[in-house]
Copies of this chain bind each other. A is one copy, B any other.
Amino acid sequence: MSASGPIVLTGDRPTGPLHLGHYVGSLKNRLVLQREATQFVMIADVQALAANAEDPGIVRDNLLEVACDYLAVGLDPGLTTVFIQSLVPEIAELTIYFLNLVTVSRLQRNPTVKEEVRQKGFGTRIPAGFLMHPVSQAADIAVVKAELVPVGQDQLPLVEQTAEIVRSFNRIYAPVLVEPRALVPAEGARLPGLDGKAKMSKSLGNAIFLGDGPDEVSRKVMSMFTDPGHIHVHDPGQVEGNAVFLYLDVFDPDKPGLEELKARYRRGGLGDVAIKKRLVGILEDLLGPIRARRREAAADPAAVLRLLRQGTDRTREVAARTLADVRRAMRIDY
């Protein structure tokens, strides 16, 4: 674990293996943060259960998948503390205490909650656990006294809610908790789906997974949307909104070469197959080593679980210290 730098908390719900969207949106950033900060990465199985209460098998099956993805991209257990949410009961305890510090109507007004309720189609049958999600997230963050929380723009209200709860706690009891700030990634950190839609997502079926084999990656890229008006090789093509170029913008390390390619595509004379093959090659350069490390990790699930246990133990030590502070502040340190 990095000895210095701000404490950072981030994580994923284990509802499916991770994909290139995760890589661009958060995993890449974590590789930087693990050297510059004290980074905790939470596998949020409890949160995942809230959305999959009736089908808990999904969560279990994907927990190891996600852990293998972490190791595959280069999260280093010596630098980053990866832990399993359900094995840190201090989070549940802190959630219960935090629930007293926020009103039901405040939670109902939370934009992230409103949006997720709409997406899940709960209607009026909102599970209580779902409404409480911002409170349990506040506990995730506060239990390790995280100072920075990397989130997308759409998750900003959750960090604001956390800061609000922490301020209430510190005001009412004693100033023992840390008010977190959001760390919003730079522009361009969101990868569109293969279909050009705004978001790459497993449920939309438009994702390249980190564990996909070379043939799978090639097949998926070949099926990508380009410019629907670009029918013959000699037709002028459009680069803007063309998913293949959006991907090349993100992944192609040769920026001058890419600009030249775009110019040729615009003029006409450059076929979709050619640009797709270029993308396949570039993705293969990235995914090849990831895939190899992933296979290695997946071959020994017991070792992966052992790493998760070690990270969880380290997190529990931190969480126990926080809860001791919390109990003392609340005067329930009998």
Contact = CB atoms under 8 A, between A and B. Distances in A.
A101 to B, nearest CB: 6
Contacts of A90: 89
Contact of A84 (B54, B84, B128, B334): B334
Interface stretch (A55-63, A69-77, A149-157, A238-246): A55-63
Contacts of A86: 93, 327, 332
B124 A99 contact: no
A31 interface: no
A323 to B, nearest CB: 9
Contacts of A4: none
A96 B92 contact: yes
A103 B89 contact: no
Identical chains bound together, number: 2
| Range for the number of chain A residues in contact with chain B | 35 or more
Contacts of A130: 100
Interface stretch (A43-51, A212-220, A256-264): A43-51
A56 B92 contact: no
A63 B334 contact: yes
Nearest to A46: B96
A127 interface: yes
A104 B131 contact: yes
A172 interface: yes
Central interface residue in A130, A173, A334, by most chain B CB within 10 Å: A334
A53 interface: yes
A165 to B, nearest CB: 10
A87 B323 CA distance: 11
Nearest to A131: B104
Interface of A: 45-46, 49-50, 53-54, 56-57, 59-60, 63, 84, 86-87, 89-90, 92-93, 95-97, 99-105, 107, 124-132, 135-136, 172-173, 305, 308, 327, 330-332, 334
11 contacts: A53-B101, A56-B332, A89-B93, A92-B93, A100-B128, A100-B129, A103-B127, A104-B127, A104-B131, A128-B131, A132-B132
